[in-house]
Amino acid sequence: MDLKDSALIIIDLQVGITKIVKESYPITINEVLAKNRLLIALFSKYNLPIYMVVVAPKIFPRKLKKAFTKELLLQEMKEHSNINRLVKTGPSAFTRSTYGLESELKKKKIKNVFITGVSTSNGVYNTALDSSKAGFNTYVIVDATADKDKVNYDRAVNELIPKIGTIIKVEELIK
């Protein structure tokens, strides 16, 4: 697949989420991290923008927010200058953040948005929905996502996401 005019959005791979999602489906958080490391390397090879998104609920005090939002891929963020950090307060990286993601992507002439992370049925799906509404070709890299609930994951992957975007796998991008 041609990645020209593409961006990668990685949702909620942060310390606080691992406390909530102790067991994930269909793969472990470590497997999600491994797949995302491959994708970071691929997008970085072509100097494409990557957005590392963390959720910081407004109700949390500052000290708790800092611990909760610590990225699990912090080393990759240090190594790759094309990774941007984005903090959101709710499910969608587009509508629940003051970052201005949609306008930045359009300014960079991005046409294709690839989304990964946790949870598939919440942050990933809502970001994909808003990406689609904004007019981007939206792809969810399903084997680089996970959820805490099998039923919610299956519904997101089999019913919800196909209505708004395309489900793909990591190998389709890497080959």
Counting as low any pLDDT under 70, the low residues of the chain are none
Task: Give the model confidence (pLDDT) of 106-139 as tens digits.
Answer: 999 999 999 999 999 999 999 999 999 999 999 9
User: What is the arrangement of strands in the sheet containing 112-118, beginning at the earlier edge strand?
Assistant: 83-88, 50-55, 6-11, 112-118, 137-146, 166-168
Total-model pTM: 0.95
Q: How many CB atoms lie within 10 A of CB 93?
A: 31
Q: What is the pLDDT of residue 73?
A: 93
Q: How many CB atoms lie within 10 A of CB 132?
A: 17
CA distances from 9 to 48, 56, 61 (A): 11, 17, 26
C-beta separation of 6 from 112 below 8 A = yes
Q: How many CB atoms lie within 10 A of CB 145?
A: 30
Alpha carbons 93 and 123: distance in angstroms, whole number: 8
The amino acid that residue 91 corresponds to is P
Fold assignment, 6-174: Rossmann fold (3.40.50)
